[in-house]
């Protein structure tokens, strides 16, 4: 799933300080318990994920841009949660160790928010609280 990603219906963020639990799996799943805050989006957001190969290995760059109904002035490092209207799994961009830093631009006519996040792994898929789905073997505390 590289290139533009559509059907984003909801974007939320949580400051790193508001994350109570973050456990990831090498299979690409993550369980997150956090105080999520909703972004009031006025236009459909744009998300593009690209893959890059270098001497250091493979990395993924997530580039996101959206227009807001109101200013948020997010200055703290965050993790981003994106939900989709077409049934695709929820994506988590950023981690406690490698958070997202958001940039906001404001003018009289528009307020936009954007970020670029480069990481060694594709954005993680959110796993339900029971730990089933992405985790193989089944997710237990010994794998955190």
pLDDT in tens, the chain (144 residues): 466 788 899 999 999 999 999 998 888 899 999 999 999 898 889 999 999 998 988 999 999 999 998 888 888 999 999 999 888 899 999 999 999 999 988 777 788 999 999 999 999 999 875 544 444 444 444 433
Number of domains in the chain: 1
Which ranges in 5-125 belong to alpha helices (H)? none
Q: Which residues span the domain enclosing 99?
A: 3-143
Q: Strand order of the sheet with strand 46-54?
A: 3-5, 46-54, 57-67, 111-119, 103-106
Choose among 44, 40, 42: nearest CA to 4: 44
68 within 8 A of 91, measured Cβ to Cβ: no
Output the pTM of the full model: 0.82
């Amino acid at each position: 799933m590289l290139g533009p990603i559509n059907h984003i219906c909801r974007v939320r963020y949580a400051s790193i300080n508001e994350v109570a639990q973050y456990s990831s799996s090498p299979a690409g799943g993550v369980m997150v318990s956090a105080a999520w805050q909703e972004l009031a989006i006025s236009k459909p957001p744009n998300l593009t994920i690209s893959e890059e190969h270098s001497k250091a290995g493979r990395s993924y760059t997530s580039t996101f841009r959206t227009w807001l109904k109101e200013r948020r002035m997010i200055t703290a490092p965050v993790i981003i949660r994106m939900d989709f209207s077409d049934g695709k799994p929820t994506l988590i961009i950023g981690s406690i160790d490698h958070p997202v830093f958001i940039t906001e631009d404001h003018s009289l006519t528009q307020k936009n928010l954007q970020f670029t996040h480069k990481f060694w792994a594709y954005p993680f898929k959110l796993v339900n609280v029971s730990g089933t789905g992405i985790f193989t073997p089944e997710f237990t505390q010994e794998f955190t």
